[in-house]
Amino acid sequence: MSDSEIKEIQWTIHTTHPEMVKPARDRLAEVVDPEIGMNIIQLGLVRDIEIENNAARLKMILTTPFCPYGPAMIEMTKAKAVEAFNMPVTIEMGMEMWDFSMMEDPSALDWGMYA
């Protein structure tokens, strides 16, 4: 798959703190949804990241509202964000429902994972 087919989510920090995008993506990509086997960046679960007053606020969603791994994934996301930004981080849970169109790389659908 070419880079042109990957649809990278644009967070607020892309405009306000572009130097923080790569560290954020790199660290947050270490958080994997154990049921799906893909990381939270690939799945598009991190919906926005803002930095204000030396603190980061990360808005995320889960693939299902009652994801059994949700609490652990949220804590891991917070820990990885603190590593990336080296500042306090709060996680805000978004209310939007996740669907496949939110994935950065929809070619995962071609793997036969989701028939």
Q: What is the CATH number of the domain that holds 39?
A: 3.30.300.130
Residue 1 lies in a domain: no
Residue 45 lies in a domain: yes
Residue 49 lies in a domain: yes
Helix (H) or strand (E) holding 79: helix 70-85
> Any idea what the Cα angle at residue 106 is, between residues 10 and 97, rounded to 5°?
65
| Lowest mean per-residue pLDDT among 75-84, 87-96, 99-108 | 99-108
Confidence at 115, pLDDT banded by 50, 70, 90:
very low
Domain hosting 36: range is 18-102
Residue 80 lies in a domain: yes
- Cβ(48)–Cβ(11) under 8 Å? yes
pLDDT at 91 over 60: yes
Share of the chain above pLDDT 90, in %: 69
In the chain, the number of structural domains is 1
Confidence at 41, pLDDT banded by 50, 70, 90:
very high
Residue 7 lies in a domain: no
Residue 110 lies in a domain: no
Q: What is the pTM for the complete model shown? A: 0.87
